[in-house]
Copies of this chain bind each other. A is one copy, B any other.
Amino acid sequence: MKVKNFISILFLTISTILVTNANAQDGWENLFNGENLDGWIQRNGEAEYEVVDGEIVGTTVAGTPNSFLCTEKNYSDFVFEVELLVEPNMNSGIQFRSLSLPDYNNGRVHGYQCEVDPSERAWSAGIYDEARRGWLYPLDLNPDARKALKMGHWNKYRIECIGNSIRTWLNDIPVAHVIDDMTSEGFIALQVHGIGNNKEKEGEQIKWRNIRIKTENLVPDFYSDIHVENLVANNLNIVEKKQGFHLLFDGQSTDCWKNANTGEFPEQGWQVKNGVLTILSSRQDSSKKGGDIITKEEFGPFEFKFDFMYTDGANSGVKYGLGNNGPSIGLEYQILDDEKHPDAKKGVVGNRTMSSLYDLIPSSKERRFTKGPNEWNRGRVVVYPCGKVQHWLNGRKVVEYTRGDNIYKALVARSKYAGFEGFGMAEKGPILLQDHHDTVHFRSLKIRNL
Chain B residues in 8 Å Cβ range of A360: 410
A394 at the interface (CB under 8 A from B): no
Given contacts A411-B411, A414-B414, whether A406 and B348 have CB atoms under 8 Å apart is no
Check A349–B413 contact: CB distance below 8 A: yes
- Alpha-carbon gap, A360 to B351, bound state (A): 17
A399 at the interface (CB under 8 A from B): yes
Chain B residues in 8 Å Cβ range of A363: 406
Given contacts A348-B414, A413-B349, whether A407 and B407 have CB atoms under 8 Å apart is yes
A362 at the interface (CB under 8 A from B): yes
Chain B residues in 8 Å Cβ range of A341: none
A401 at the interface (CB under 8 A from B): yes
**Which of these, B349, B406, B409, B418, contacts A410 with CB under 8 Å?**
B349
- Report A235 CB to chain B, min CB distance, Å: 33
Check A362–B406 contact: CB distance below 8 A: yes
Check A361–B410 contact: CB distance below 8 A: yes
A364 at the interface (CB under 8 A from B): yes
**Which of these, B349, B413, B418, contacts A406 with CB under 8 Å?**
B349
Check A348–B410 contact: CB distance below 8 A: yes
- Report A337 CB to chain B, min CB distance, Å: 20
Chain B residues in 8 Å Cβ range of A399: 406
Interface residues of A in 348-372 (CB under 8 A from B): 348-349, 351, 360-364
The residue on B at minimum CB distance from A413 is B348
Chain B residues in 8 Å Cβ range of A414: 348, 414-415
- Report A186 CB to chain B, min CB distance, Å: 39
- Report A120 CB to chain B, min CB distance, Å: 13
- Alpha-carbon gap, A352 to B363, bound state (A): 27
Most buried by B among A360, A405, A406: A406
Chain B residues in 8 Å Cβ range of A411: 407, 410-411
**Which of these, B348, B349, B409, contacts A349 with CB under 8 Å?**
B409
- Alpha-carbon gap, A362 to B409, bound state (A): 9
Question: Please, could you name 21 A-B residue pairs with CB atoms under 8 Å apart, sorted by A?
Answer: A348-B409, A348-B413, A348-B414, A348-B418, A349-B406, A349-B409, A349-B410, A349-B413, A351-B406, A351-B410, A360-B410, A361-B410, A362-B406, A362-B410, A364-B405, A364-B406, A399-B406, A401-B407, A410-B411, A411-B411, A414-B414
The 9 residue pairs across chains A and B that have the minimum distance between CB atoms: A348-B413, A414-B414, A349-B409, A362-B406, A349-B413, A364-B406, A351-B410, A361-B407, A361-B410
Given contacts A348-B409, A361-B410, A362-B409, 7 further A-B contacts (CB under 8 A): A348-B413, A349-B409, A351-B406, A351-B410, A362-B410, A364-B405, A411-B411
